Amino acid sequence: MAQLHFLMIPLMSQSHIIPLTDFAKSLARRGALVSIVTTPLNAKRYNPTLDSSLRIQLIPLHFPCREAGLPNGCENLDALDSLDLARQFFHACRLLKAPLHDLIRHLHPAPSCIISTSAISWTQDLADSFRIPRYVFETVSCFTLHCSKKISQLLDSVASDSELFPVPQIPHTVEFSRNQLPRIPTKDSDSFIDPEPAPPRGTLVNTFQELEPWYLQASREERGSVWSVGPVSLSNREASELFSRGNEASIDEHYCLTWLDSMERNSVVYACFGSLCALSIEQIIEIGLGLEESGSPFIWIIRKQETNSGQVEEWLAAEGFEERVRGRGLVVRGWAPQVMILSHPSVGGFLTHCGWNSTLEGVAAGVPMITWPMFAEQFYNEKMVVDVLGIGVRVGVESCADKQGLMRRDRVRSSVGKLMGEREMREKAEALARAATDAFEDGGSSFLNVTLFIQDVVRANAEMAVYEMRE
Contact 16, 10 (CB under 8 A): yes
Residue 238: predicted pLDDT: 73
Alpha carbon separation from 115 to 119, 130, 209 (Å, rounded) = 12, 14, 21
Taking the model in full, what pTM does it have?
Answer: 0.93
Q: How far apart are CA 363 and CA 370, in angstroms?
A: 12
Residue 187: predicted pLDDT: 41
Task: Determine the length of the chain.
Answer: 471
Query: 63-91: buried (b, 16+ CB within 10 Å) or exposed (e) per residue?
Result: bbbeebebeeebbbbbbbeebebeebbbe
Q: In this structure, what is the dihedral angle of CA atoms 282, 286, 289, 292, given to the nearest 10 degrees?
A: -140
The two beta strands, 369-371 and 347-352, are parallel
pLDDT in tens, the chain (471 residues): 578 999 999 999 999 999 999 999 999 999 999 999 999 999 998 887 788 889 999 999 999 999 999 999 999 998 888 878 999 999 999 999 999 999 999 999 999 999 999 899 999 999 999 999 999 999 999 999 999 999 998 888 887 899 999 999 999 999 999 999 986 544 444 455 666 777 899 999 999 999 999 999 999 999 999 999 999 999 988 766 666 565 556 678 888 999 999 999 999 999 999 888 889 999 999 999 999 999 999 999 998 777 667 899 999 999 999 999 999 999 998 888 999 999 999 999 999 999 999 999 999 999 999 999 998 899 999 999 999 999 999 999 999 876 778 999 999 999 999 999 999 999 999 999 999 999 999 999 999 999 999 999 999 999 988 777 666
The two beta strands, 175-176 and 165-166, are antiparallel
Q: Residue 392 phi/psi, 5° resolution?
A: -150, 160
DSSP notation for 370-401:
EE---STTHHHHHHIIIIIS--EEE----S-G
Residue type, 407: M
Coil, strand or helix at 415: helix
Coil, strand or helix at 151: helix
Q: Residue 366 phi/psi, 5° resolution?
A: 75, 30
Reference 372, options 404, 343, 346, 344; nearest CA is 404
DSSP notation for 432-471:
HHHHHHHHHSTTSHHHHHHHHHHHHHHHHHHHHHHHHHH-
Q: How far apart are CA 418 and CA 358, in angstroms?
A: 21
Domain 5-139+442-470 part of CATH 3.40.50.2000: yes
Helix axes 356-365, 14-28, angle to 10 degrees: 50
Residue 171: predicted pLDDT: 97
Residue 185: predicted pLDDT: 44
Q: How far apart are CA 261 and CA 338, in angstroms?
A: 16
Q: How far apart are CA 216 and CA 384, in angstroms?
A: 13
The two beta strands, 226-228 and 298-302, are unpaired
- Name 392's Cβ contacts closer than 8 Å, sequence gap at least 6: 368, 369, 370, 371, 382, 385, 386, 419, 425
Alpha carbon separation from 240 to 9, 21, 32, 237 (Å, rounded) = 25, 15, 23, 9
Contact 112, 5 (CB under 8 A): yes
DSSP notation for 259-315:
HHHTSPTT-EEEEE-TTT----HHHHHHHHHHHHHH-S-EEEEE-HHHHHTSHHHHH
3-state helix, strand and coil shares in percent for the chain, rounded to the nearest 5: 50, 15, 40
User: Which regions of the chain carry the CATH code 3.40.50.2000?
Assistant: 5-139+442-470, 249-434
Residue 341: predicted pLDDT: 95
Q: What is the DSSP letter of 147?
A: H
Q: How far apart are CA 428 and CA 422, in angstroms?
A: 10
For 249-434, CATH number out of 3.40.640.10, 3.40.50.1100, 3.30.830.10, 3.40.50.2000 equals: 3.40.50.2000
Reference 386, options 370, 409, 410; nearest CA is 370
Alpha carbon separation from 140 to 285, 351, 369, 387 (Å, rounded) = 30, 19, 18, 17
Could you give the angle at the alpha carbon of 348 between the alpha carbons of 342 and 14, nearest 5°?
A: 30
